[in-house]
């Protein structure tokens, strides 16, 4: 397995001034870190981030991509457009996109397909709601969500990244226990192994209120290959602490 992958998801946060300060601090503190790292920034800041990250070990990511190649889709951003800004990763199917924008499993699979076709690694998010967990449906939900992506992208499924993000732990301060995270990650790993002989290439990240205090315990689990980090990625010191934990 490759080095752990830590991805900051800034969500709808940032400004030209704040971005420059944050990235400057992160880049200054990355010396000696052996994990892979990226930040997924809002689309208007891709050009700024591209310039600031050029030649650094911190990769650039986007937070969404259109399921369409091009055309009359006002407000959409295509994979080819993201590639123009040297985007390496792109989040698809984040729970907030599924919940607030009605994205289906099929839509998420199509977005992953567009990213892969442009040479961008999709970070495919899967996860259950609290009601689904309480009903004992966690495994069925995440397997259904990932199955749609495998069905559409089976020939190159080993080129994706998967992020398990329990919806009940997104921005709530609640976090899956290391044991809960490991269990779901193992389920996803088995599903990938059944789909491709190269499943060991796929990093499975945990995303759900991971922070500096709990990162080390989560990352110590055998099937947790990194993190998709929200609010903590907006604080340079906290993000760097997590990168250090992932570099052990």
DSSP-assigned letters across all residues of 21-61: HHHHHHHHT-TT--SEEEEEE-GGGHHHHHHHHTTSSEEEE
85: its two tokens: 């800004």
35 in Cβ contact with 4 (< 8 Å):
yes
Reduced to 3 states (helix: H, G, I; strand: E, B; else coil), residue 202 is coil
Residues 6+ apart with CB under 8 A from 225: 1, 2, 4, 5, 203, 204, 205
Domains of the chain plus CATH, in order, are 82-248 (3.20.20.70)
Q: Is the dihedral of CA 105, 111, 112, 117 positive or negative?
A: positive
- Residue 208 pLDDT: 87
**% of the chain residues with pLDDT over 70:** 100
- Residue 1 pLDDT: 63
- Residue 233 pLDDT: 97
Q: Is the dihedral of CA 216, 218, 219, 221 positive or negative?
A: positive
Dihedrals φ, ψ of 37, to 5°?
A: -145, 150
Kindly give the parts of the chain with pLDDT less than 50. Answer: none
Exposed/middle/buried for residue 231 (C-beta within 10 Å: 0-12, 13-18, 19+): middle
For 64, half-sphere exposure in the C-beta direction (CA atoms, 13 angstrom radius) is 20
Distance of alpha carbon 208 from alpha carbon 230, whole angstroms: 8
Q: What amino acid positions are annotated as catalytic residues? A: 94, 165
pLDDT in tens, 97-132: 999 999 999 999 999 999 999 999 999 999 999 899
Report yes or no on whether pTM surpasses 0.85.
Answer: yes
User: Which residue do the tokens 């900051």 mark?
Assistant: 8
């Amino acid at each position: 397995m490759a080095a752990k992958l830590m991805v900051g998801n800034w969500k709808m946060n940032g400004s030209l001034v704040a971005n420059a300060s944050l990235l400057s601090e992160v880049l200054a503190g990355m010396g000696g870190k052996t994990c892979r790292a990226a930040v997924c920034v809002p689309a208007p800041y891709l050009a700024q981030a591209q310039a600031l990250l050029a030649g650094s070990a911190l990769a650039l990511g986007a937070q969404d991509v259109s399921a369409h190649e091009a055309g009359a889709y006002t407000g959409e951003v295509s994979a080819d457009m993201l590639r123009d800004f040297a985007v390496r990763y792109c989040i698809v199917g984040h729970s907030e996109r599924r919940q607030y924008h009605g994205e289906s499993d099929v839509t998420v699979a199509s977005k992953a397909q567009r990213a892969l076709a442009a040479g961008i690694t999709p970070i495919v998010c899967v996860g259950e709601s609290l009601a689904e967990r309480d009903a004992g449906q966690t495994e069925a939900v995440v397997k259904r969500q990932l199955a749609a992506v495998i069905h559409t992208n089976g020939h190159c499924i080993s080129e994706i990244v998967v992020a398990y993000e329990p919806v009940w732990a997104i921005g709530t301060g609640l976090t899956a226990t290391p044991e809960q995270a490991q269990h779901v990650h193992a389920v996803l790993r088995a599903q990938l192994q059944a789909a491709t002989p190269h499943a060991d290439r796929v990093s499975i990240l945990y995303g759900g209120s991971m922070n500096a205090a709990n990162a080390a315990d989560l990352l110590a689990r055998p099937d947790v290959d990194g993190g998709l980090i929200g609010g903590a990625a907006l604080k340079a010191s906290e993000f760097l602490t997590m990168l250090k934990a992932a570099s052990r």
